[in-house]
Copies of this chain bind each other. A is one copy, B any other.
Amino acid sequence: MKRNTYLTLLTPDEARILWFERLHAHSHTLAEENVALPDALHRVLSRAVEAQRSSPAFHGAAMDGIAVSAEDTFSASARNPLRLELGKKAHWINTGHPLPQGLNAVIMMENLNTETVGETQWAIIEKATFPWQHVRKLGEDMVATEIILPPGTCIGPYDLGALAAGGVLEVPVFVRPRVSIVPSGSEIVPLSEAREEDLRAGRVLPEFNSLIFSAMITEAGGDATVLPVVPDEPTAIAAAITNALDAGADMIILNAGSSAGSHDYTAHVLESLGEVLVHGISVMPGKPTVLAVVRGRPVIGVPGYPVSAGIAMEEFVLHLLALWQKRSVSERRKVLAVPYNPLPSRPGMEERLRVKLGLVGGSIVAVPLPRGAGTITSLSRADGIICIPRDSEGCDAGEPVTVELLRPETALAGALLAIGSHDNTLDMLDSLLRKTYPGFRLTSAHVGSLGGLMALRRGQCHLAGSHLLDAEDGVYNRKAIEENLEEPTVLLRLVDREQGILTAPGNPLYINGIEDLARQDVRFINRQRGSGTRVLLDYRLASLGISSTGIKGYRDEEYTHMNVAAAVLSGRADAGLAVRAAANALGLPFVPVGMEEYDLVIPRRFLAMEAMQALLDVIRSESFRKTVESMGGYGTEKTGQIIWEYAGR
């Protein structure tokens, strides 16, 4: 039995509190500087700013008209109009200008007449005014010495206006905290210096975490410096930290290389230089985070994998930068969502799971993105994060869970959620939709055709891509819809597409058809159960009388055409079944197997949605057609046509 070290790990909150206390982070005082207003946008006030002058600085007209003494007009009425001589008891005045001495009201241009008799102009007033009517009084907006903005304010456009109105032309702000980033790892090279062939061969590993960290620090008001990559040697790492501290860094981020033992290096080096408070936190991804204090300054060992690194940055670095600047960390909005599938999780560790989201029929559906800590696209594609608590074994499908939103709710409201079969044209369709109708988007999750119909049946998506061949009559999708769906639904042709066998470059094994897949020298890569491509394969195998047990690799599954192509390109398999577009994309030979229908299955009730109308409009556009055709392997003859209507049952 191995000891379960996770139970001894601190939670992110516990770890943060411990680290912050040792750092005296709450009483830490950043240096201040004065900046002129035009340079102050998004800087953070270090102290309260008081008005230097009152605003308005004088009693001024709030309207265009004439300035009068209200008391002079008390007798005015429509029956008995009052005449005041202009230039004497009444004075033309423009909005914003100061009232002449002794006057206290303005009569609007629209409410008076004038008359010229000889050299003299008269204002004719039919209604009394009252003191201070249409006057902006001195100090009405702010009085000199009043506080305009409190400390910790991140200055926005309107704040600039309020400061200017109060006669404040420069403001005291916190000097941006200096954060030094030390990437480490012996095979790591800065991204810009890596040669493409070395990257592809894995001879060097590109360093791009520092790009992410720098951007996060910039957004948090800090000043990031990326130091040169340090090899995985304790003395080199120690020297880099010491130099950064000598150079005045307020905080140091040590980004672990991916080499064996590099985490231990981090902790050992930090122990030798200062104090390690936390070595590992109870959250996945993010566990191998190290929190230390060296010479009174915070040093954090951030894990190498980007998803782990992101969590360490958010939980510790961004919190500390906010606290130093006396700002509250803006927490993400939380909503309830229903997971599309069960989310098992290991008890003892909190898990953060990134998801795509769709607002379907009033409830929010969450579709998990791949969990790997190295899956950087899960960071850029995520709409939200589900936190599965430490004491939980996960969530069941359909059981509502809390999701932190990563995008504004309006983006969510404008998104159509497609769950089902994968085709590259869906991504392209999303891009065209966004370009044509900003505000709408197509979010798609790839679970295979049958999975899409199941999601539709549960009301979890707006549409599903499907290419399910019925083995009996050779017709696509209709029988599967009849068997699985209950509500009225339309079947819309997205594209016809060519399926075929992808082989290694040059097709060295001379694979020329489905029957060759059963050869003992051919390693096949399959698609997952429930995918239309798998159904197609089984259909063809059955019609040729070939047993799936005779196919080497039949149980080795991938989830998308592109991943099948990648498996073949990498030599992991000799052949796979996929669309021609995937073969074209990676330059692989393609042995045609046949054309198939790739349709969108759309419940009738979603057709009236504005976003769906926009999507249909884009599908039927010339520009979609042309782009699809340019990808090769697609037919667009019936693209956009409703080819069948299902009445439901």
Residues of chain A at the chain B interface (Cβ within 8 Å)? 2, 26, 37-38, 41, 47-48, 53-60, 62, 64, 92, 94-98, 104, 109-110, 131-132, 136-152, 156-162, 164-165, 167, 169, 187, 191-192, 196, 199-202, 205-206, 208-209, 211-216, 218-219, 258-261, 304, 306, 310, 322-323, 325-331, 333, 370, 372, 374-377, 379-381, 408-411, 414, 424, 427-428, 430-431, 434-436, 438-439, 441, 556, 560, 562-563, 565-567, 569-570, 572, 585-586
Contacts and interface: CB of A to CB of B under 8 A. Distances in A.
Nearest to A99: B202
Contacts of A322: 438
Contact of A211 (B98, B160, B410, B431): B160
28 contacts: A47-B431, A58-B200, A62-B374, A94-B258, A94-B260, A96-B304, A97-B187, A98-B202, A138-B567, A140-B370, A140-B375, A140-B563, A143-B563, A143-B585, A147-B428, A150-B430, A151-B431, A152-B438, A157-B212, A157-B215, A158-B212, A158-B310, A161-B209, A161-B212, A165-B377, A322-B438, A328-B410, A330-B408
B570 A53 contact: no
A586 B143 CA distance: 9
Given A59-B572, A162-B376, A165-B376, 16 more contacts: A96-B258, A97-B187, A109-B260, A131-B556, A137-B570, A139-B566, A141-B375, A146-B427, A150-B431, A150-B441, A152-B435, A158-B379, A161-B208, A164-B211, A165-B377, A167-B196
Contact of A104 (B196, B328, B381, B572): B572
A132 to B, nearest CB: 8
A410 B260 contact: no
A260 B95 contact: yes
A51 B509 CA distance: 29
A410 B330 contact: yes
Contact of A572 (B138, B323, B331, B375): B138
Given A215-B157, A410-B328, A431-B150, A585 B137 contact: no
A164 B206 contact: yes
Contact of A380 (B161, B304, B306): B161
Given A54-B566, A62-B374, A138-B570, A379 B162 contact: yes
A68 to B, nearest CB: 15
A370 B154 CA distance: 23
A379 B164 CA distance: 13
A167 B195 CA distance: 11
B148 A380 contact: yes
Contacts of A156: 215, 380
Contacts of A567: 137-139
Nearest to A60: B202
Given A208-B161, A330-B410, A199 B167 contact: yes
A570 B191 contact: no
Complex copy number for this chain: 2
A54 B586 CA distance: 10
A145 B151 CA distance: 49
B330 A145 contact: no
Contacts of A95: 258-260, 304
Nearest to A331: B410
Nearest to A142: B377
Contacts of A261: 64
Nearest to A584: B145
The 8 closest A-B pairs by CB, nearest first: A139-B566, A98-B202, A96-B258, A164-B208, A157-B215, A158-B379, A162-B380, A145-B585
Contacts of A161: 208-209, 211-212, 306, 376, 379-380
A49 B90 CA distance: 67
Contacts of A213: 157
A239 B529 CA distance: 70
Contacts of A131: 556
A160 B212 contact: yes
A64 B211 contact: no
Nearest to A430: B150
Contacts of A219: 41, 157
Contact of A165 (B59, B208, B566): B208
Nearest to A560: B143
Contacts of A329: 439
A566 B143 contact: yes
A570 B59 contact: yes
B333 A409 contact: yes
Given A165-B208, A376-B165, A410-B330, A570 B37 contact: no
A455 to B, nearest CB: 22
Contact of A110 (B2, B145, B370): B2
A140 B372 contact: yes
A567 B143 CA distance: 10
B434 A152 contact: yes
A380 B158 contact: yes
A316 to B, nearest CB: 15
Contacts of A328: 410-411, 414, 438-439
Nearest to A441: B150
A310 B110 CA distance: 26
A265 to B, nearest CB: 13
B427 A147 contact: yes
Given A161-B208, A408-B330, A435-B152, A143 B565 contact: yes
Residue from A54, A96, A411, A570 whose CB has the most chain B CB atoms within 10 Å: A96
Contacts of A137: 563, 566-567, 570, 572
A431 B212 contact: no
Nearest to A131: B556
A149 B374 CA distance: 18
Nearest to A582: B143
A110 B139 CA distance: 72
Contacts of A411: 328, 330
